[in-house]
Amino acid sequence: MIPMVDLQRQYQQLKPDIDAAVQDVLSQSQFILGLNVAALEKEIAAYHGRAFAIGVASGTDALLLALRACGICPGDEVITTPFTFIATAEVIALLQAVPVFVDIEPDTFNIDPEKIEQKITARTRAIIPVHLFGHPAAMTAVMGLAEKYKLKIIEDCAQAFGAEHHGKKVGAFGDCGCFSFFPSKNLAGYGDGGMIVTDDEQTAKKIRMLRNHGSSVRYHHSLIGYNSRLDEIQAAIIRVKFRYIDSFNASRRANARIYRTLLHKNGMALPTERLGCRHVYHQFTIRSARRDRIMAALQENGIASAVYYPVPLHRQEAFAGGDAAGDRLACAETCAGEVLSLPMFPELSQDEIRIICDVVNHVS
């Protein structure tokens, strides 16, 4: 069996350091907002060249708290992509704001910047570009629109830790960059966790209050907040893995090169890497009209694969009746019927990739 991701392989490689880090937390018994959370925040802020980083309970909470800290209110419109995990738009709706979906580019699967401007109205307050599957969104164009229309930019970097756009890391462009440490991510814990990076001191201060029940002084609450603190044990684990993130991403890129060499196109589209971008291949996602046959053949041979995402957000029941319910976002809908993600993780071997490609190449 070849899985989509093998967390056990990575754990065995890092076991002594991870076990020691967890044991150290247990010995110190400081489990909430301890030394590891503070240290990880400093390390990730520095990695992205940002002034502040705030650890939160999940990638979803990172987006939610960032939107609140940026002043998104009920009735505001927030532009985003329909081709992403529901959390990206879910947080907009949770704040009683309005998600406005813009179609995607067919090669990167990211929001199409040329189609954003036509969706901007007097109620538009922010854009959430998603760096899907590890490929950066077109941030030069997105930031140009933000400046022109005075919009907030909250980057969804959940799948793209370490990815770069013209030499600058994703998360370093917008008002806030939001990350997920879900176990399958490029930089991951062994449970939920998230991080927000920003250069604005007041935004950082507000997020720190929001994650801790609206409090900056114990038992004094300035805001109605949340219980959304990054767990100390998760922070300790992530700090160990963070030391290896660039080599992990290099291994993913090497695996992607092997896939490109061995896969026969035969009407199949392989992942794009735009000029000036550094893709980190959270997923290696192909497109094919024979998607379902390829998926079935892989399953028959004990090889995992996955469809991210079979139903675009504007077609989801959760958003039925919303402003976008009747939209025809042709590219997102076409991609949803053709995309297939193949196994991808740093420890995936060349022999395993060869087996996967052999199966895919023989599907008629």
Residues 113, 257, single domain; the answer is no
Question: How many domains does the chain contain in total?
Answer: 2
Assess whether 22 and 93 both reside in one domain: yes
**Do 123 and 261 lie in a common domain?**
no
Provide the residue-wise pLDDT of the chain in tens; the chain has 364 residues. 999 999 999 999 999 999 999 999 999 999 999 999 999 999 999 999 999 999 999 999 999 999 999 999 999 999 999 999 999 999 999 999 999 999 999 999 999 999 999 999 999 999 999 999 999 999 999 999 999 999 999 999 999 999 999 999 999 999 999 999 999 999 999 999 999 999 999 999 999 999 999 999 999 999 999 999 999 999 999 999 999 999 999 999 999 999 999 999 888 999 999 999 999 999 999 999 999 999 999 999 999 999 999 999 999 999 987 655 557 899 999 999 999 999 999 999 999 999 999 999 999 7
62 with 113, same domain: the answer is yes
Tell whether 187 and 295 lie within a shared domain.
no
Q: Looking at the whole model, is its pTM more than 0.95?
A: yes
Residues 269 and 233 in one domain: no
- Extract long-range pairs of 165-168: CB within 8 Å, 24+ residues apart: 165/136, 165/137, 165/138, 165/139, 165/140, 165/276, 165/277, 165/278, 166/140, 166/276, 166/277, 167/276, 168/49, 168/139
CA distance 293 to 363: 7
> Has residue 1 been placed in a domain?
no
249/182 same-domain check:
no
Query: Are 272 and 234 part of one and the same domain?
Result: no
Same domain, 265 and 237: no
Pairing of strands 164-165, 277-278: antiparallel
- The CATH number given to whatever domain includes residue 347 is 3.90.1150.10
Q: How far apart are CA 80 and CA 105, in angstroms?
A: 13
Q: Does 302 share its domain with 221?
A: no
Structural domain containing residue 259: 245-361
